[in-house]
Amino acid sequence: MKANQLQVKQIRLNIGGVSILNDVSFSLSEGDRVGLVGPNGAGKTSVINCITQFEKRYQGEVTFSNKLLNKENPQDLPKYKIIRTFQNLGLFNELTVLENFYIAAHQSFESKLKNVFKLEKEVKQEALTLLEHESINLHDIVSDLSYGQQKIVEFLCALIQRPSVLILDEPAAGLNDFEKNRMIEMILKKQQELNFSLLVVEHDVNFVSTLCQNVVVLQSGELLCSGSPEEVFKRKEVIQAWIGESNV
């Protein structure tokens, strides 16, 4: 059996007397691809914020390879190779694609000043390889790219940090079907090459079913159920809670 890599244990989050998350537990093992799904406002992004320590007001435990992360700061998470993307794109719009790669790499690889040039040379080389089959140029300004291209750049900025756990918050939101399929292909290909485990928040049932081996369903901050996509998406309570109200 594979060892648990990332564990979320009995997370509770109350903000201003409102319960946002209630007793949420699940885990991710090496090489897993887990989908975190649920209706809008279910608490999916809040779970990611707790895992990555952007949200500190929670109770419960988050561990990585049995090390407690609760006391860490969000900027320390890349040290553990836990890398996330943001629902509303975490890119610097006025900068070039390459500059965004540099910033991502600097967040992850503490570089002493004398090594900056070496790091940036390596990053540039790697960025060129990552963008090989894309119609995106290293010197393009991010805001000049289509939304789909920006989503790809954000994903690649996460990859350049060599994640061991990659957390994607709605990587397919706003993409058309063609772009969604490309995103799935790209994630699967890169996972094979780079061997990270994946936690992905997404609304699209087809996207999650194609990509993930396991699904965790949240509703109103509570874990409704979990299991394989085939099993979970058939359940009456899941259809009632979520699929019925979504665009599927």
Ligand X SMILES: Nc1ncnc2c1ncn2[C@@H]1O[C@H](COP(=O)(O)OP(=O)(O)O)[C@@H](O)[C@H]1O
Q: Which residues bind ligand X (CB under 6 A)?
A: 15, 20, 38, 40-46
Alpha carbon distance 207, 111 (integer Å):
37
- Residue 14's binding partner among Mg ion, ligand X, none (Cβ under 5 to 8 angstroms by kind) is none
- Binding segment for Mg ion (CB under 5 A), chosen from 42-50, 111-119, 130-138, 205-213, is 42-50
> What residue number has its CB nearest to Mg ion?
45
Strands 67-68 and 18-29: unpaired
| Closest distance to Mg ion from the beta carbon of 173 (Å) | 9
**Could you tell me which residues come within 8 angstroms of residue 245 by beta carbon, excluding any fewer than 6 positions away?**
39
Identity of the residue, 101 or 207, whose beta carbon is nearer to ligand X in the bound complex: 207
| Closest distance to Mg ion from the beta carbon of 102 (Å) | 28
| Closest distance to ligand X from the beta carbon of 79 (Å) | 25
Q: Tokens for 183, please give them.
A: 């995103």
Identity of the residue, 43 or 78, whose beta carbon is nearer to ligand X in the bound complex: 43
Alpha carbon distance 33, 213 (integer Å):
6
Alpha carbon distance 38, 122 (integer Å):
39
Applying CB under 5 A, among 5, 45, 164, 226 the residue interacting with Mg ion is: 45
Backbone angles phi, psi at 206, to 5 degrees: -65, -40
Identity of the residue, 98 or 212, whose beta carbon is nearer to Mg ion in the bound complex: 212
Identity of the residue, 97 or 216, whose beta carbon is nearer to ligand X in the bound complex: 216
Q: Tokens for 45, please give them.
A: 């992004």
The amino acid at 233: F
> What residues make contact with Mg ion under the rule CB under 5 A?
44-45, 87
